[in-house]
Structure formats: structure tokens, C-alpha cells
Structure 1
Amino acid sequence: MFDILMYLFENLVHSESEFRVDHDELTDELINAGFHHDEIYKALAWVEKLAALQKTDATPYLSRVAVPNSTRVYTAEEQMRLDVQCRGFLIFLEQVKVLDISTREMVIDRTMEIESAEFCLEDLKWVILMVLFNVPGKEWAYEQMEDLLFEAQEGPLH
């Protein structure tokens, strides 16, 4: 499913092509790209849920989240999906204002919906990018995250 999400983001959304394509046409394109029906439908449902999060005027996660400057406590299930490195990266992104409380919760929600046995920091970065791309008013945060994702390290790290 994550491979399909990456394919959709890189080939349709991130390429700035028109994303409002016919559902059947998109399914056919994904089948021709080698993906299976079940995984396609799961990925499209994931994208639809992400799109639905931005269509509401309410911030759906703030009612479940403590006040700013509080500490996010992860459930056992979230800790299994998001290892220490992933959780540390989320904290870092909050500290540098790329994520706020609401977008962090959106990222965690979308991450928990991905059916994948393996999930790593690189996968999380792509989920964050997809979420920020879909949240109006987060263009700066999206650009910052894009820089973090595509930035090539040059020279030795000290």
C-alpha cells in the first residue's frame, strides 16, 4: 500500500498534474503499473481520508490533544509503528515549527493507517510530506519538509 501512495504522490500530486482524475482510470493506471486491486483500494481510501481531513473547518485532533507545550504520550501501538527515531523526528519538527499539534496528530493518524510490516524514518518523512501538501496554509512547512527530505548531505558529518 505504501508503494502505491508513493507512486501517487510522485507521479500525480508532486508532479503538479491534475489530481482529479477518474477513479476507474486511476485504478487502471495503477494496475498497469503492477499494483494489486486490494492494495489500490486501500491506498485510495487512505488518500480520501487525508483529503477529508482538510475539508473541515474544525481541527479534528485538537479536542483530543492537550494544551501546547505539553508532552505527547504515544500508545503502545503507536510506539510499535513509530520507533524512537521516528518519534524524535516528530519532536524535532515541532520544535522547528514544521509541524504543529494538529498536523502532528494528522501525521500519526495517517501513519497508523498504513498497512506495512516495515516502517522507518524515511517512510515517516514521506507521510509528513503528503500530509503537509494537503493542509491549506502549510506551504512554508511543506517546503521545509521537502528540503529535509531531498537535502543531500555533502562532506563528512562532524
Structure 2
Amino acid sequence: MFEVLVFVYENYWRGDACPELQQLERKLNAHGFEPDEIHQALDWLDGLNFAAQSAEFDDAAAPAPQSSHGMRVYSVAEQDHLGAQCLGFISFLETAGVLPPALREIVVDRAMAVPGDPVAVDDLKIIILMAYWSTGREPDALVLDELCDDTTGRLPH
């Protein structure tokens, strides 16, 4: 499914540029993706579209780090499904001020819709890119670098 999502992200730079799901399905079939992967990705994208349309963003203000007066508490199911690495990565992006609460909720919702426990961090990065994509928001260069860069060769300082 994630290969299909990456293809959609790379070929349709914004969510509003993406064709309707039926037309997208035909294009994905023409590119040789497996029908099961296509249907799973289209169901996931349909949920993403719904979540993005339901989200309320404060466009007047730039995204700010999580308020010291509020805190997101993850349910046991979310903790189990997302795992410590994904929760840590989400927290990192929130603390950096690049993942506002509305976008975080889209990410968590869509991550919970992915099969397998726990979700891989690389898969979460694709989910985050797709959340930005679906809302028409452009991640800044540092966020894009963090989401797209292979960190396996990095050495901590």
C-alpha cells in the first residue's frame, strides 16, 4: 500500500490535483500496481480526504509548538499500534513546531488505519507527508529533509 501512496504523492503534488478515486484506480492499474494494494490505498486515501476536510486549522497563525497548557494523551490502543519510535517522532515534530494539533490528529487517525503493530517509522513518515499533501500544506525544507532522508547512516554527535 505504501508504494501506491508514494506514487500518488510523487505524481500529484497536491491533494486537490489528484483525480477522483475511480480515475486514480484506473491510472494505478495501468502502472502495474496489484489490485489489493490499490484498493487498500484507495480506502486509506478516502479516509485521509475525510479527515483532512474535517480538520480545523488556524490559518491566521503559524503552527506553534504544543502548548504547555495542553497535552495529547494517547490511548493504550494508539500506544500499542504506533509504538515508542513513532510516538517519539510525532513528539519531536510537535516540539519543533512543525506538526500542529489538527495535522497531528490526521496523522494519528491515518496511522491507526494501517495494519500491523507497531507502525514502522518509515511508514509513519509517508503518512505525515500524505497528511501535509491532503491539506494543501507544504512542509518546510527541514521537515521534508527529516521525512525523506535515510537516517540509517547518521552518527549521533
Relative to the length of structure 2, the TM-score reads 0.73
Q: SS state of the match for residue 26, structure 1?
A: helix
Q: Residues 117 and 35 (structure 1 numbering): CA distance in 2 closer, same or farther, change over 3 Å?
A: farther
CA distance in 2, matches of 1:155, 1:2: 24
Task: Tell me which of 28, 39, 42 is aligned to 2:40.
Answer: 42
The reply on whether 1:157 has 2:153 as its aligned counterpart is: no
Q: SS state of the match for residue 17, structure 2?
A: coil
Q: Residues 77 and 2 (structure 1 numbering): CA distance in 2 closer, same or farther, change over 3 Å?
A: farther
Contact 1:125–1:149 under 8 Å retained in 2: yes
Give deviations 1:61-107, integer Å, cap 9, x for gaps.
xxxxxx94333222222122211111111111111101111111110
- The CA deviation at 1:111 is 0.6
CA distance in 1, matches of 2:109, 2:154: 36
Contact 1:50–1:134 under 8 Å retained in 2: yes
Q: Residues 142 and 110 (structure 1 numbering): CA distance in 2 closer, same or farther, change over 3 Å?
A: farther
User: What 5-or-longer segments of structure 1 have no aligned partner?
Assistant: 60-66
User: What 5-or-longer segments of structure 2 have no aligned partner?
Assistant: 58-65
Residue identity in the other structure for 2:93: L
Higher RCO (C-alpha 8 Å, min separation 6)? 2
Relative to the length of structure 1, the TM-score reads 0.73
Which residue of structure 2 lines up, in the alignment, with residue 13 of structure 1? Answer: 12
- The CA deviation at 1:124 is 0.8
The reply on whether 1:127 has 2:124 as its aligned counterpart is: no
Percent identical among aligned pairs is 32
Residue identity in the other structure for 2:37: E
CA distance in 1, matches of 2:54, 2:129: 20
CA distance in 2, matches of 1:2, 1:155: 24
